[in-house]
């Protein structure tokens, strides 16, 4: 199976923005190299005034990202590479970094080390020096109470390179680091263990002894220990070790704590604080839009111009914009989980579970990012070394309930369930995860069998969240949300308004009383969704619009129901009125609609990213799987809940339980019959005896 080759995303975006064809046009190329969690991307952002994604786990940077900066009249082009531990790559992103280093042997290299992790970080430094590369060592002070106090001058003398102490987050020592880039390469210093190393490597190459690699590592670490005794003083215990892990990683408490944390995030995001902020923003938007609408009405009357602004622009887009606080809160809490060090613990918790369905702990990072945005999450799946695992991880991202679906859950679910809607939302998030697990297991058993994967995991210490870093992440996501509202949603809402306001003969429907083009098209597709409980043409039209962006589902409903104010409660109330264009007759239909919105085909941006990462074949397959699973589960949800409303919950539960019990009994009997046909003396009980 062939995967479509992709260009490095960071470079592609950078050169498109700057209209450059080569990094040489931007100055001297400098590589930024280091272990994961050493502050590499934070330093990149500090040097180049960028806002790349920062996180304390392996695989945050999955490709090379470049940007230029200037210092004392010199232009430089800094390239951030994925985190590596040595020059022997074990995964996709590590191979990207090693290939870049080997292809840029004449470049300056900034090797960043975490002051608290010097023993392991310096291993990579030695690997670089053994290749004769031009290295500047930046010792990054991440924590206020470091494990080591390092004499950088003495360390530089021992290694024969420039060593600078920095604090990447607070931008301390950056000028000293930049000054080192202007200096000429120092004459290579012979490291004392190199003669022994050459002997071991010769033994490895010509005698092929299995212990040679271990001997090489021991020689390097022995030299590192010798350096640290001379240049560093230990002040406290092992890095990353915390008493909190006895609680957060306890085999009985880990999952309940994780679920409680998610429940608290959902409560604050969707209800108590989030609801309060959304209502306040809605009132602020109404304060500005109402005078404009009154002016248009008094000047032009309530014609199509007034309808365009009231329904398409202010009504639809304004309604979605009022959910901005909830989107911000969700990203805020996810950023805290990332920045605190808890995200790596989550990967550890889920590693065993994901291993059973053909994934690895690396998939946790990608799937958790799917709760924010499926498009960016799919991009991070490229750090999987196993192709089948990469395809599965990318395909599963859209099953995670992204932030764009928050308005749908809040408006539609809130109309029928009120305060209890938190349980509906938590159930939808859980359902997305469960369906993703089932799909992955089925694919792993059939088409996409995964191989054993390496998963290197380190626990950073628990840290106080940096509000500055969280603020940058929030601003980046808010900016993307506003750009989506300002471009995609406004244009899509105008298109929907035109189709719903004019007939195929270009007559204005509210005046002529005809049937709009959108209604005609919606009525053709409506029978397909009737078994799901929402066979209205307007509901179908809103789902089609959701293919562009999931937020458009709510803005379309607001437009169809004529909600021209930024009032979420008013929009929710309209869904209960039989006279509304979009109207749900029962709770069963509402839950089925929410399940379908959770699982059906993702937005166009996610589809395009799937095409880029896994190719046309698997993108088409994933679209069919998603639509099929959404339709089947929405159908079952509606039929079961509708039957429960008629016959009672316990009667339906008893019937379903009986059906599953019968299926299980049949399966058990067939398995027992199959075992009887096997030879009792056969060592492998799952194979028929050849002598029988």
Structure-token match 């309209």, residue found: 574
CA dist 359 to 352, 394, 444, 499, Å?
A: 9, 11, 9, 44
**Residue 324: how many CA atoms within 13 Å on its side-chain side?**
23
- What pLDDT does 255 receive? 85
Render 25-90 in DSSP notation, one character per residue.
Answer: GGSEEEEEEE-TTSSHHHHHHHHHT------SSTTS--S-EEEEEEETTEEEEEEE----SSSS--
Q: Which pLDDT score is estimated for 4?
A: 37
For residue 669, what are its two tokens? 């009997």
Q: Work out the percent of the chain whose per-residue pLDDT is above 90.
A: 10
Average pLDDT, the chain: 79
pLDDT at res. 678: 52
pLDDT in the model for residue 32: 92
- CA separation for the pair 601, 579 (Å, rounded): 30
The count of other CB atoms within 10 Å of the CB of residue 462 is 15
Q: Indicate if the pLDDT at residue 620 is higher than 90.
A: yes
Strand partners, 34: 112
Task: Report, as an integer, the average pLDDT of 62-90.
Answer: 84
Q: Write the pLDDT tens digit of every residue in 361-410.
A: 667 777 877 887 788 788 777 666 678 888 888 899 899 888 888 889 98
Every domain range in the chain assigned CATH 3.40.50.300: 9-234
Average pLDDT over residues 529-556: 86
In contact, 66 and 96? CB cutoff 8 Å: no
Residues 245, 254: Cα–Cα separation, whole Å: 9
Report the interhelical angle of 254-270 vs 421-445 (nearest 10°): 130
* Residues 535, 538, 541, 545, Cα dihedral to 10°: -130
Task: Grade residue 15 by pLDDT with cuts at 50, 70 and 90.
Answer: very low
pLDDT for 506 equals 80
Going from the C-alpha of 495 to that of each of 12, 30, 144, 313, 483, the distances in angstroms are: 31, 47, 55, 11, 18
Give the residue, 33 or 355, on which the prediction is more confident. Answer: 33
Is the pLDDT at 60 greater than 50? The verdict is yes
For residues 150 and 139, is the Cβ–Cβ distance under 8 A? Answer: yes
Highest mean pLDDT among 169-173, 329-333, 598-602: 598-602
Closest CA to 351 of 453, 244, 262: 453
d(CA 584, CA 41): 49
pLDDT band at residue 57 under the 50/70/90 scheme: very low
pLDDT at 598: 93
Lowest mean pLDDT: which of 251-255, 413-417, 492-496, 601-605? 492-496
What is the per-residue pLDDT across 316-356, written as a single tens digit (0 to 9) for each?
677 777 778 888 888 888 788 877 878 778 877 877 777 77
HEC readout, 550-568? CCHHHHHHHHHCCCCCCCH
pLDDT surpasses 50 at 19: no
Residues of the chain with pLDDT > 70, as a percent, come to 82
Architecture field, domain 9-234: 3-Layer(aba) Sandwich (3.40)
3 state DSSP class of 234 = strand
Residue 134 forms beta bridges with which residues? 108
What does the pLDDT read at residue 184?
79
**Residue in this structure with the two tokens 């009997």, named with its chain if needed:** 669
Q: Strands 162-166 and 134-140: what pairing? A: parallel
Q: Using an 8 Å Cβ cutoff, are 140 and 166 in contact?
A: yes
Judged against a pLDDT cut of 50, whether residue 417 lies above it is answered with yes
The residue that leads in pLDDT, 480 or 687, is: 480
Residue of 2 and 177 predicted with greater confidence: 177
**Which of 263-277, 555-569, 609-623 is predicted most confidently?**
609-623
- Whether residue 679 is predicted with pLDDT greater than 60 in this model: the reply is no
Cα separation values, 519 from 441, 537, 590, Å: 40, 6, 21
Per mean pLDDT, which of 153-162, 175-184, 446-455, 594-603 is the most reliable?
594-603
Contacts of 485 (CB under 8 A, 6+ apart): 317, 320, 321, 551
Mean pLDDT check: name the lowest of 205-214, 269-278, 643-652.
205-214
> What integer is the mean pLDDT of 487-502?
80
Torsion from C-alpha of 269, 275, 277, 281, nearest 10 degrees: 130
For residue 52, give Cα distances in angstroms to 365, 463, 589: 16, 20, 42
Per-residue model confidence (pLDDT) at position 111: 94
How, if at all, do strands 108-114 and 148-150 pair? unpaired
Give the pLDDT confidence score for residue 512 in this predicted structure.
Answer: 66
Identify the pLDDT of residue 668. Answer: 76
d(CA 433, CA 397): 10
Report the pLDDT value the prediction gives residue 229, as an integer from 0 to 100.
86
According to DSSP, residue 530 is labeled G
pLDDT at residue 188 in the model = 65
Burial status of residue 112 (CB atoms within 10 A of its CB: 0-12, 13-18, 19 or more): buried
Q: Which tokens belong to 374?
A: 């499926």
Residue of higher predicted confidence among 534 and 484: 534
- Report CA-CA distances (Å) from 669 to 413, 471, 656: 43, 60, 20
pLDDT at 672: 74
Q: Which residue has the higher pLDDT, 679 or 90?
A: 90
Question: Averaged over 83-106, what is the pLDDT?
Answer: 81
Cα(514)–Cα(423) distance, integer angstroms: 42
d(CA 142, CA 170): 9
- Look-up: residue for tokens 């046009």? 25
The pLDDT of residue 502 is: 84
Phi and psi, residue 262, nearest 5°: -60, -40
Instruction: Please report, for residues 248, 417, 431, 449, 496, the alpha-carbon distance to residue 351 in angstroms, rounded to integers and kept in the order given.
Output: 15, 35, 20, 17, 44
- Of the two residues 462 and 631, the one the predictor is more confident about is 631
Dist CA 267 CA 616 (whole Å): 39
Per-residue pLDDT at 669 exceeds 50: yes
Whether residue 191 is predicted with pLDDT greater than 50 in this model: the reply is yes
Task: Output the six-digit token pair for 296.
Answer: 């248009």
pLDDT at 22 over 60: no
């Amino acid at each position: 199976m062939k995967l479509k080759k992709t260009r490095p995303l960071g470079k592609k975006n950078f050169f498109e923005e700057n209209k450059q064809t080569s990094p040489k046009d931007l100055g001297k190329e400098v590589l930024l190299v280091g272990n994961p969690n050493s502050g590499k991307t934070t330093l990149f952002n500090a040097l180049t005034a960028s806002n790349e994604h920062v996180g304390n786990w392996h695989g945050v940077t999955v490709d090379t990202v470049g940007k230029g900066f200037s210092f004392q009249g010199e232009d430089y082009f800094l390239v951030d590479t994925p985190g590596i531990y040595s020059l022997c790559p074990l995964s996709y992103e590590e191979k990207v970094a090693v290939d870049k280093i080997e292809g840029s042997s004449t470049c300056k290299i900034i090797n960043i080390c975490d002051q608290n992790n010097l023993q392991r970080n310096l291993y990579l430094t030695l690997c670089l020096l053994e290749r004769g590369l031009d290295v500047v060592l930046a010792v990054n002070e991440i924590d206020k109470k470091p494990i080591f106090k390092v004499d950088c001058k003495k360390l530089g003398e021992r290694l024969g390179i420039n060593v600078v102490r920095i604090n990447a987050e607070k931008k301390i020592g950056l000028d000293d680091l930049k000054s080192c880039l202007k200096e000429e390469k120092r004459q290579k210093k012979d490291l004392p263990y190199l003669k022994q190393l050459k002997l071991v490597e010769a033994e490895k190459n010509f005698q092929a002894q299995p212990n040679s690699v271990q001997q090489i590592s021991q020689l390097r670490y022995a030299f590192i220990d010798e350096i640290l005794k001379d240049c560093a003083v230990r002040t406290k215990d092992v890095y990353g070790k915390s008493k909190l892990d006895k609680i957060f990683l306890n085999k009985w408490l880990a999952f309940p704590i994780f679920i409680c944390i998610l429940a608290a995030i959902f409560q604050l995001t969707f209800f108590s604080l989030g609801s309060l902020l959304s209502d306040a923003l809605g009132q602020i938007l109404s304060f500005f839009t109402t005078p404009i609408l009154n002016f248009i009405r008094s000047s032009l009357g309530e014609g199509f111009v007034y309808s365009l602004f009231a329904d398409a622009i202010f009504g639809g887009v304004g309604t979605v914009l009022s959910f901005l606080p909830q989107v911000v809160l969700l990203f805020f809490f996810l950023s805290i989980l990332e920045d605190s060090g808890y995200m790596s613990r989550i990967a550890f918790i889920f590693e065993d579970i994901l291993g059973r369905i053909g994934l690895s702990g690396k998939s946790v990072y990608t799937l958790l990012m799917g709760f924010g945005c499926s498009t960016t999450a799919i991009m991070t799946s490229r750090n999987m070394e196993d192709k089948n695992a990469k395809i599965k991880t990318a395909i599963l991202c859209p099953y995670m309930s992204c932030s764009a679906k928050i308005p749908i859950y809040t408006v539609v679910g809130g109309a029928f369930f009120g305060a209890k809607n938190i349980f509906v939302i938590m159930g939808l998030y859980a359902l997305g995860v469960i369906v993703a697990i089932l799909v992955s297991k089925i694919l792993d058993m059939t088409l996409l069998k995964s191989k054993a994967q390496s998963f290197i995991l380190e626990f950073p210490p628990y840290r106080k969240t940096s509000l500055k870093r969280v603020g940058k992440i929030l601003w980046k996501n808010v900016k993307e949300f506003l750009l989506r509202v300002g471009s995609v949603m406004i244009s899509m809402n105008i298109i929907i308004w035109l189709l719903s306001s004019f007939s195929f003969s270009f007559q204005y429907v509210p005046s002529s009383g005809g049937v709009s083009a959108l209604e005609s098209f919606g009525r053709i597709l409506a029978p397909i969704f009737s078994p799901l409980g929402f066979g209205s043409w307007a509901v179908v039209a809103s789902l089609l619009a959701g293919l562009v962006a999931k937020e458009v589902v709510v803005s379309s409903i607001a437009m169809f129901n004529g909600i021209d104010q930024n009032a979420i409660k008013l929009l929710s109330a309209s869904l209960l009125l039989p006279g509304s264009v979009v109207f749900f007759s029962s709770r069963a239909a509402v839950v089925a609609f929410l399940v379908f919105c959770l699982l059906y085909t993702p937005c166009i941006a996610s589809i395009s990213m799937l095409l880029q990462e896994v190719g046309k074949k698997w993108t088409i397959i994933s679209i069919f799987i998603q639509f099929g699973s959404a339709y089947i589960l929405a159908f079952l949800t509606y039929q079961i809940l509708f039957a429960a409303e008629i016959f009672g919950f316990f009667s339906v539960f008893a019937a379903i339980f009986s059906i599953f019990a019968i299926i299980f009994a049949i399966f058990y009997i067939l398995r027992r019959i199959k075992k009887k046909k096997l030879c009792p003396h056969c060592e492998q009980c799952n194979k028929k005896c050849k002598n029988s």
